Amino acid sequence: MEFVIPGVLMGILATVGTDLWAAVLKHLLRLPTANWRLVGRWFGHMPRGAFVHRTIVDSAAIPNELAIGWIAHYVTGIVYGVAYFAIVQLLLSRDPALSSALLFGLVTLAAPWLIMQPGMGFGMFASKTPRPALVRLINLSVHLVFGTSLYLAWLLLWPR
C-alpha cells in the first residue's frame, strides 16, 4: 500500500500537466482538445447499460455531464498514477524513470483509441472523426506529456 499515496499524487500532478498542455494546444496552437462534457455524457450513460453510441454527440444529455467528465478525467489520471508507481516499485523494484514513464504514457493510449473513442462513436483510433490523423497526433502528444509529467511529479515530490 506504500505506493498508493505517491501514485495518487503523481497521477493528480500528471493530469494537471496534461491539462496545461491541452491549454497550450487550444489557446496557442488553436488545436481541438478533449470535450469533457461528452466524456461525462458517455460515462453518465453507462449505468443505464449504454456503453457504445452511434455518436455520443447525438445521445441524450445527462445532468452534470461536464462535472462527470472532469471527475472521470482526474480519476483516470489517479488510477494511472497508482498503476505506474506500483509497476515500477513492485514489479521492477526501482524508482520511476523518464523512459518508463514515457513508455507507460504510450501504453495508456490503448484506452482512448480502443475503448473510449469507439464507445463514443468516433471509431477505433478516432477513425470516424473529421481529422483522424490530427486527433491521433493530439492524443499521442497528451499521453506523452502525461508520462513526462508522471516523472516530473516524482522528481518534484521526492527530489534526489
As a three-state string, the secondary structure of 61-76 is CCCCHHHHHHHHHHHH
| Percent of the chain whose predicted confidence (pLDDT) is above 90 | 92
123-152 pLDDT per residue, tens: 999 999 999 999 999 999 999 999 999 999
What pLDDT is recorded for position 74? 98
Tally of structural domains, the chain: 1
* Residue 150: domain span: 4-157
Region 7-14 average pLDDT: 98
Question: What predicted TM-score, i.e. pTM, was given to this entire model?
Answer: 0.94
End-to-end CA distance of the chain: give it in Å, rounded.
Answer: 22
| Percent of the chain whose predicted confidence (pLDDT) is above 70 | 100
**AA letter at 15:** T
